[in-house]
Amino acid sequence: MNTTHRIYFKNSNEMSELSPDSVDLIITSPPYPMIEMWDSLFSESNYEIKDALQEEDGRKAFLLMHYELNKVWKECVRVLKEGGLMCINIGDATRKINNNFQLFPNHVLITNFFQEHGFISLPYILWRKPTNAPNKFMGSGMLPPNAYVTHEHEYILLFRKGEQKAKIPPKLEQRYNSAYFWEERNNWFSDIWSDLRGTAQSLINGIPNSSGAEDEIRERSAAFPIDLPYRLINMYSIYGETVLDPFWGTGTTTLAAMLCARNSIGYDLNPELGRIFELRLKEVKILSKKINTERLEAHISFINQKTKLGKEIKHENINYGFKVNTLQEKELLLYAINNVTIKNNFYSVDHEPFYLE
């Protein structure tokens, strides 16, 4: 199997390279309105934002920042196929304006936008981020009432464009090969994710000294952990489909699409990020083998435990010969990355079925 991956360093408020209804899935994380690290980016796109921030008119700045994001969301509405899913990782912002500590609920404005544009809201996921900051509580300490709850989660908002995909041929082999394990389903489809591996942890095993650098990149670029797009791609698309990230950053979505044998397209304003992506790409073959091995070994251990407990498992996977909990997992098949080449400014990836050694 072969997949292609295209990256455009330009503003995604005009994705003229993409036809209407051409993308199967969108996974992205925009700059978060009212989070200080993105003030200058928003201010460059509209000087009124800079003025509003200087005048400490928080509400005006907040709305204007969303007005900028909406230009990209409009393009997403255009290019996503009917029945396709839109997954947006976003955090709300907390900030002191005019000496008043307050929350700017980014997830609310984004939800309103997609509902107003005919998308259907699906149950979202809360990504609970581990923190061990000692001074995480804000406000008046132990004296009521001016102490504030700490924000330690972000949202993964899920919207569908129109009706549920109705036209999938009932016996489409690719779809059955794209199945995930029953026990993965139980974890991935829960509404709180607190076990996402960071970029560093998953890329790093066996690659000495890269952890510090990776952490720094993540810090500066606000990259999400590779597990986040990896899971969403497995949950909401099948082999060979196309995933778009209009706020591409360091290309985590593209790396995950490569790992999942899906095509991808990315847009970002900052061409310098391409170099960071190239560094990460060097590790993608190792990562592919590592993730596939871990998934298969975890499944074997899950089945062994069940068997030990005397539970009968009826079904067998035809590609691996091990037992599976349901008939839907019978044709599940993982692909590994065999080779990555660059052709005419896009990446071409060769994938082959993966088996344990």
Ligand X SMILES: C[S@@+](CC[C@H](N)C(=O)[O-])C[C@H]1O[C@@H](n2cnc3c(N)ncnc32)[C@H](O)[C@@H]1O
Binding residues (CB under 6 A) for ligand X: these are 11-13, 29-31, 41, 72, 221-224, 247, 249-250, 252, 267-270, 273
CA 150 to chain CA mean position, Å: 24
**CB nearest ligand X: which residue?**
249
Nearer to ligand X, 92 or 329 (CB): 92
Q: Which is nearer to ligand X, 74 or 311 (CB)?
A: 74
- We find the least distance from the C-beta atom of residue 16 to ligand X, in angstroms, to be 13
Closest CB to ligand X among residues 58, 249: 249
CB of 177 to ligand X, least distance (A): 27
For ligand X, the closer of residues 252 and 263 by Cβ is 252
By C-beta, is 11 or 348 nearer to ligand X? 11
How near is the Cβ of 222 to ligand X at its closest, in Å? 4
Give least dist CB 36 to ligand X, A: 14
88 vs 332 by CB, closer to ligand X? 88
**Minimum distance from residue 125 beta carbon to ligand X (Å):** 16
Q: How far is the CB of 284 from ligand X (least distance, A)?
A: 14
